[in-house]
Amino acid sequence: MPNAAVITTILLITLLAAAGGCESMQKTDKPDDLVGTWHFEAITSDGETTVGAPVIHFIPKITFEPIGEYEEEGRVTGFTGVNRFFGNYVVIESTLELSEFGSTRMAGPPERMELETALLESLGTVSTYRADRERLELDFDAGTIVFTRVIGG
């Protein structure tokens, strides 16, 4: 029968290997600066505003929910001014990947539908982000989507 020191060593090696395996499986950062609700301000390209926030009661917004301790992706939800959307997100450093998007499919006034199309198409190609306490910038292939934090959101 093996002695206690051998058994202890084997158990310790097994636990360290398991802990190392769990750590390497975790790919997603926990982006506290991204979490919360943000109101849409504009879509910019080359420093120029191409789509501005509407002056209406239906302000588009996006909400990033916290990523759980044992989860690899978080949940994102939002409102385009006409429809609600939802999906998942993954963050690795400043890289942001949005995936598995879906939305409701209601029709609205042409100007809000144009904003919705531009916003959803831009969100579909987001690659990086920058966030501070007040401002969120989502970079996509042709520009940046700018949001401001909703106080208490």
Question: Which CATH number is 62's domain given?
Answer: 2.40.128.270
Residue 14, domain member (yes or no): no
Average of per-residue pLDDT across 45-74:
84
pLDDT of 94 above 70: yes
Residue, of 51 and 56, whose pLDDT is higher: 51
Are the beta carbons of 19 and 116 closer than 8 angstroms?
no
pLDDT of 27 above 50: yes
Based on the structure, what is the number of domains in the chain? Answer: 1
Are the beta carbons of 110 and 101 closer than 8 angstroms?
no
Which amino acid would we find at residue 106?
M
Residue 63, domain member (yes or no): yes
Bridge partners of 77, per DSSP, are 63, 86
Structure tokens at 83: 């429809």
Residue 16, domain member (yes or no): no
Residue 21, domain member (yes or no): no
Structure tokens at 34: 């991204």
Are the beta carbons of 90 and 97 closer than 8 angstroms?
yes
Report pTM: 0.77
Residue 126: which domain range? Answer: 28-149
Residue 117, domain member (yes or no): yes
